[in-house]
Amino acid sequence: MLCRIDSLSEPPLWQKAYSWYKKSFSIFLTVLMDHANLLNSVGVAFASTGSILIWRYLTEISFIDKEAYVRGQGVLTVPTPSISDISRFKRSMLLSKLGIAMILLGGLFQIVSNHFAA
């Protein structure tokens, strides 16, 4: 008596992968819904930190002698940058771009948390 092997075999690999994906995604959504308030708080913290980074590093890029400018004696001069000036400028630009990314990510976190909280 012959037995059919394909009737006893496991489902194809793509079916296993899809089943695992559906199960993992539903677990992710459940955890996300349970922690919507936490996600919203993280989003607010990211957006606030990003705003501070932009305020601190993007607004400080200036060549004005601030003390003389406040006294009304300031002159705008653009000196030849040194290596430390260039590295400080690059650091300021990097941190301000990081601030913009944090604001966007924080806003996205808030939108997602509000969607799952409702």
Q: Distance (Å, rounded) from C-alpha 92 to C-alpha 111? A: 29
pLDDT tens figures, 10-63 = 777 777 777 877 778 677 667 666 777 888 888 899 999 999 988 888 766 566
Answer whether 60's CB lies under 8 Å from 12's CB: no
**pLDDT band per the 50, 70, 90 thresholds, residue 103:** very high
9-to-3, 5, 6, 13 alpha-carbon distances in Å: 12, 6, 5, 11
**In the prediction, which pLDDT does 92 show?**
86
Residue 73 is encoded by which pair of tokens?
A: 């004696």
The whole-angstrom distance between residue 60's C-alpha and the CA centroid of its chain comes to: 23
**pLDDT band per the 50, 70, 90 thresholds, residue 3:** low
**pLDDT band per the 50, 70, 90 thresholds, residue 98:** very high
Residue 17 is encoded by which pair of tokens?
A: 């992968």
**In the prediction, which pLDDT does 105 show?**
92
**In the prediction, which pLDDT does 118 show?**
60
Residue 82 is encoded by which pair of tokens?
A: 């040194």
pTM: 0.57
**In the prediction, which pLDDT does 8 show?**
56
Q: 88 pLDDT exceeds 80?
A: yes
